[in-house]
């Protein structure tokens, strides 16, 4: 039987090293004779990013994945092989998975990005709940990271990736020069606006022309307006609440407040990602809001001052605590089509991936600020320590992992209108509800 991409087998004599010298992960060797009987676990990934250590160079990634799987096979003699089939562009992931499922391709585990798990895999019943099955090893998993794979109280996947969160990046030297407290309250930022203007510096610039990034602001303000942005969003989608309710309107009002108070510049509407980064790196803006994926850019572009981070602040009079969009990007789910006789072995493999010493093999090379598995080495730079102290404990699931894409687009457009002063918060919220109502009227929601 040919060895597929990503396959690791145990040889008939249980000589793992022997077979691995002949078939390194990803080489796709063919013509290999059949191996001894045993369970073959099939892991399906919708794209080439659905692997362990996906950000590493291909050869290094294959080596890491090989080492991880070898260890599992050695400890589980009833499993003779693991086939990890992940390929293709990320944008085609759902289609590739649906095509494979319709063709009755056998898959036991699915390498499941949190975005697709929330937005498609659960609703299309491609993965099964594993809430009770992971309890014996759940304490190894970061609770916030697990939340990214929890839908309506049921866990559908185990996160096996680094973690992201959202934060405000700021010019440390400038804040010291102007005497602005760190971390600042919202009132501190408002009070500092005249100081920024006197110095000829834009307080905060956002990549507003990159419209898909506007909803991040709404994740923050809806958390404070409702107390639980994820639960409120789920109620909106279930039809027991609306996107035009008072708390949803308040979320837009809070964004408008940043503009009205002079902190968030209206110039943001014409600025793209590169412009935002360049303005900050050159000292033309004091702050910008984004995710931890911004760190590599900051490390390479900011040369003339020290930069730092602080969490999106609590706004006055809001009932809810801050909640910053983020979470674990990738996880491992159990396919709803798995054969019952393979389920135990599949859960054992999931459990194995959460062992700190195993998770360190595939996560430590990513140099994580934070990781989904406890005990994995993390970088100790000042910004990373600050994020782990303040931002990550209050990180919530990105709401656009839950929204239909049409709602995401409508939200982005509505925020741009509010920031530009062409749309009221009430009209913004009503426009989103109208888009959602239209989806339902067309029979496109809930998804079939």
pLDDT tens for each residue of 372-405:
999 999 999 999 999 999 999 999 999 999 999 8
Quick: pLDDT tens for 314-324: 999 999 999 99
Q: Give the residues across from 171 on adjacent strands.
A: 307
Of 33-42, 166-175, 370-379, least confident by mean pLDDT is: 33-42
| Region 129-133 average pLDDT | 98
- Quickly state the pLDDT bin for 7 (edges 50, 70, 90): low
| Region 75-95 average pLDDT | 94
pLDDT at 33: 30
Dihedral angle over CA of 130, 374, 352, 156, nearest 10:
20
- From the CB of residue 268, how many other CB atoms can be counted at a distance below 10 Å? 27
Q: Give the residues across from 331 on adjacent strands.
A: 112, 159
Q: Which domains does the chain have, with CATH numbers?
A: 7-162+329-382 (3.40.190.10), 166-326+404-441 (3.40.190.10)
- Quickly state the pLDDT bin for 23 (edges 50, 70, 90): very low
Q: Would the pLDDT of 267 be above 90?
A: yes
Q: How far apart are CA 257 and CA 54, in angstroms?
A: 40
The packing angle between helices 425-441 and 246-260, to 10°, is: 140
Phi-psi region of 262 (alpha: psi -120 to 50; beta: other; left: phi over 0): left
Q: How far apart are CA 255 and CA 266, in angstroms?
A: 12
Q: How far apart are CA 93 and CA 116, in angstroms?
A: 9
Quick: pLDDT tens for 274-311: 999 999 999 999 999 999 999 999 999 999 999 999 99
Of 2-16, 241-255, 409-423, 424-438, least confident by mean pLDDT is: 2-16
Sign of CA dihedral 391, 429, 405, 442: positive
pLDDT at 14: 37
pLDDT at 29: 29
- Which residue is listed with tokens 């491609």? 126
| Region 119-143 average pLDDT | 95
pLDDT at 8: 57
pLDDT at 50: 95
Dihedral angle over CA of 420, 424, 427, 433, nearest 10:
70
Share of the chain above pLDDT 70, in %: 92
Helix, coil or strand: residue 84: strand
pLDDT at 21: 34
Helix, coil or strand: residue 378: coil
């Amino acid at each position: 039987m040919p060895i597929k991409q990503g396959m690791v087998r145990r040889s008939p004599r249980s000589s793992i090293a022997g077979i691995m010298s002949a078939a390194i992960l990803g080489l796709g060797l063919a013509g290999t004779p059949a191996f001894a009987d045993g369970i073959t676990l099939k892991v399906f990934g919708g794209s080439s990013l659905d692997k362990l250590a996906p950000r590493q160079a291909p050869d290094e990634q294959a080596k890491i994945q090989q080492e991880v799987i070898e260890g599992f096979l050695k400890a589980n003699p009833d499993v003779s092989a693991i086939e990890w089939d992940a390929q293709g562009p990320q944008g085609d992931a759902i289609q590739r998975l649906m095509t494979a499922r319709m063709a009755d391709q056998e898959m036991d585990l699915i390498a499941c990005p949190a975005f697709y798990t929330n937005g498609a895999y659960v609703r299309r019943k491609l993965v099964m709940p594993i809430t009770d099955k992971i309890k014996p090893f759940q304490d190894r998993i970061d609770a916030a990271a697990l939340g990214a794979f929890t839908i309506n109280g049921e866990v559908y996947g185990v996160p096996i990736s680094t973690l992201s969160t959202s934060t405000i990046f700021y010019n440390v030297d400038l804040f010291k020069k102007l005497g602005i407290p760190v971390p600042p309250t919202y009132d501190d930022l408002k009070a500092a606006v005249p100081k920024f203007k006197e110095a000829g510096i834009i307080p905060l610039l956002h990549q507003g022309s990159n419209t898909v990034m506007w909803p991040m602001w709404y994740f923050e303000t809806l958390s404070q307006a409702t107390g639980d942005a994820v639960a409120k969003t789920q109620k909106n989608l279930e039809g027991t609440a609306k996107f035009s309710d008072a708390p949803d309107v308040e979320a837009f009002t809070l964004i408008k407040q940043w503009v009205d108070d002079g902190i968030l510049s209206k110039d943001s509407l014409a600025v793209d990602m590169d412009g935002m980064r360049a303005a900050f790196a050159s000292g033309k803006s004091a702050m910008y809001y984004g995710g931890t994926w911004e760190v590599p850019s900051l490390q390479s572009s900011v040369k003339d001052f020290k930069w730092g981070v602080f969490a999106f602040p609590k706004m006055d009079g809001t009932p809810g605590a801050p909640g910053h969009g983020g979470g674990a990007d990738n996880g491992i789910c159990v396919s709803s089509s798995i054969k019952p006789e393979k389920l135990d072995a599949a859960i054992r493999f999931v459990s194995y991936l959460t062992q700190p010493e195993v998770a360190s093999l595939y996560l430590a090379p990513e140099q994580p600020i934070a990781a989904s598995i406890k005990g994995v080495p993390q970088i100790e730079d000042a910004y990373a320590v600050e994020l782990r102290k303040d931002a990550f404990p209050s990180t919530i699931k990105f709401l656009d992992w839950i929204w239909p894409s049409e709602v995401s687009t409508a939200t982005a457009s509505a925020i741009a209108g509010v920031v530009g002063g062409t749309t009221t918060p009430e009209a913004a919220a009503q426009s989103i509800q109208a888009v959602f109502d239209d989806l339902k009227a067309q029979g496109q929601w809930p998804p079939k």
